Each structure stands twice: as structure tokens, then as C-alpha cells.
Structure 1
Amino acid sequence: MATHVVRSAYRSLSASFLRSCSRTVAVRRATSSSQEEEETDKKISNVQSTEDPYHGISAQSFPDKCTSVLLAGVNEQDVEIKADGMIYLPEIKYRRILNRAFGPGGWALMPRGETLHFQGENDGGQLITREYALYCLGRFTAQAVGEHTFYSKNNLSYGKACESAKSNALMRCCKDLGVASELWDPQFVREWRGGHASDVWCENVRSKEKKKLWRRKDNGEAFPYPWKEVQRTK
């Protein structure tokens, strides 16, 4: 009889212990599941914030050491001029300025959308355009469309034409950062042209159109196809 009572009590204690263990395991699993869900939510939130195309826009100004580089005066010897008279900085100058301001890897140019092609009707040129966004120190900074027109006969490959359009977008984005802002100042443009450039009469060998084209005074190279110099201005 005593043995039967002991066995019955033992079974009762064992069952109670097992039920307690089950509840503990269930609580731990629930807690673990809750923690995993919270971590997952945090990861999703972080991904969503990084996927925001305008993340950090106008949050605050850049540090003084960055702005001093971005707003530094342009070196007139670095300025070039296009045939239509527009002055500009070579794209590598903008990249060097950004590298000095933010450090290599501290800025990036992100493409937006696909590359678009447009065929010229008169001179056979092809216009390539693509939109890009500039990010600096992880923040959206500017956005612009880059473009470039090329001709198949001047041996410019499609890849180089796309790279030129990208560089054009970079230049336009840098305008918002104040880089080389003098290039859009009419007085600076007139003074630079007067001291560093000259206009030349040229003819389009395809359409026979004649007009004046610009180049630096220290540049004696021929104009690119389809333009050919026919007479210098006095």
C-alpha cells in the first residue's frame, strides 16, 4: 500500500514538473520569436530608409572642411571652351574636387532610369541622355540629366558616349554644391573668353553650314567632324 502511494505521488510530481518545463520552453520560444521579429523589423526599417531615393536631403550643411573645398575659386588655367562658346571644367576636375571634399568613396553618382537615344535628322548625330543622382556622405545631394551627342564617323564608341553623358550629369549636379560657380557668371565668362579664347569661321562638311566656333588660344588642334576651319577672324 505504501509503495503504491509513493509511486502515485512520484507520477503526480513528474507530470507537474513536465508541464512546468513545457510552459518554460514555450515562453522561451515565444520570447525568442519576438526578439527575432523585432530584429527583422529593424532590418526591414533600415533597408527601407536606405531605399529612400531622397534620404538625408537638406538635413544639414556639410562640414566646413568640405565646403571650403567645394566653394574654392576656379583655376582659370583649368577652364576649357566648347565650340559653341560655352566654357567648362573637364570632368576629371569635378571628380578631384569631390574626392578632396568628401574623400574617395564618400560620394557616388547613381543612375536613375534607362539610357535614352535620339537620332538627329540633319547631321546624323545621335543624342544620348540619362538621369543621375549625386550622393555625398550617404545623403541625396542633387539630380540632373546628362547628355552627349556623338557621330559614328569620329570613332567614339557607344560606351565612351555614355560615359560622357554621365560626366555631363556630374557637372550639372555639382552646380548645386557651388563647384566652379564662376562658369555661370556672365561677367566671368566674358572676361575669360577675351583673355583665353578666340572664335574661328568653320564649315559643316555635310550640310555646308558656316558659323563661328570657339577654341582656346593655346589650342591649335582641328575641330572635330563634321566641322572644318575655313577662315580665321581678324
Structure 2
Amino acid sequence: MIEELRKLYLRFNYTNEKGFIFNAPTSNKGEHISISFDNKRKEFNVHFTDDSIKEAGAKRRTFFFVISAFRFFLFLRRFETLYTQGIINLVFSSKINLGKLKKHKFIINTFFTSDEAEDKLITKKKNGKYWKFKTDIDLDSIIENYKYIEASDLIGNSFNYAYKFKNNSLLLQGIIFNFENLNGIYFIPIKKWNRFMRHMAIAMYNHFNTYPTEETLPLRQLMYERLKHPYINPENKNSKKIK
């Protein structure tokens, strides 16, 4: 997890003088979210920026999460062990035969997990620091990649989202992992995955709530409200268990 963060540093042009910042659009028009590390203050922060505000000196940023570098890396060290062990147990307890997957008529799309997806969906500016979804996305190239699993090749190390077509909609059923070196295929039903992610979210909430600060309050409030409700999609309540 810390190694992945180091790669994020390098990808978004980390410098000793300024640190790094990654910007991405939100669902609100004229707004973007930023994840950054301020090397001068030695702190991580997540904030929203209102791009419609142009006046000099006007408040454009709303900080959502601020934490010192020391406390952030301490959290990562503790959480990484829990997450790694949890994901290993989750995946290895979900081995399945390819024939059984085909029997359930799952549909997958290899485009979204391919190396080319990022280049075809996202425009990058300012040396890759600012990402924006393209407006001229070739939808045909995405749609043509939806195939029944028996017509697709699950080769190499990969993961794919598994869907079923029901009531003229694609409903997410789970995640398929293929590990070439283990010579096995693993299927995690969406309910099982959501339950795992909920447990991880509870662990994160408990950690930040054990060491509360005013700067982490907005995140803790959001997590509390979210955790009061189940993550499981009501549409999947009646989905059959796959053995």
C-alpha cells in the first residue's frame, strides 16, 4: 500500500519543494476533487475546488480531510496488514471452476480493465496532474467488448466484473480474478465483496475515531452516516449463491 503511494508520488510529479497534487472531476459541474501532499506543511489533504469562482482571494477550496504525514503513514502501516490478510482470505476462499461460471451466463467487459482504457476514456493535462473524462468517447468500442464469458478469454493475471442481463439492464454479480501462477479462477459474489469492504470501512472509521481531530471530522461524519446503511444493493437481495 505504501509502495503504491510512492508510485502515485512519482506519477504526479512529486517534488521536494511542492509535494504533489492529483485532480479529478466530480459529478458536479464546475467542481473537481484534489488529493495532495503539501511538503511544506508535511500533511495530506483531500479537498473540493469550485472552478466557477474566479475572484482573486475568494475561497474556492473546501477541505474534506487533512492529516499529518506521520499519522497518515502510521495509519497505512496498520491498515495494510489488516487489508492484505483480509483480501487474501477473501480471494482464496472463493475458488471456482470455469465451467460453473459459464453455466451462469455471466457477461464481462475486458475493456475497462485493459491497459488502453485509461487513454481512451481520460484526457490528461498539466503533465498528467489533471484528469478529465473525454466528451468524444467511442461507445461502440466499449459496447462491443461486452461478451458472455464462454466467448471471452480469461488469460494471464486479470480481474473482470461479472454481470447478468436482466430487465433490460446489466446487473453486477461479482468479480472474477484469474491468477496464472496459481492456475486458478476465483469468483467473489458482490454481496461477499460488499461485506468485506464494509468491514474495511469500519476498521478505518474506528482508527480515525480513536485518534479524532477537527480536520478529520468531515470524513468521520460521512463514514458514520454511510455505515448506518448496508452497502448491499437491494437489487441483489434475491441473487442466487454460486457454488
Q: Same fold (TM over 0.5)?
A: no
Higher helix share: 1
Query: Could you state the TM-score of these two structures normalised by the residue count of structure 2?
Result: 0.21
The TM-score, its normalising length taken from structure 1, stands at 0.21
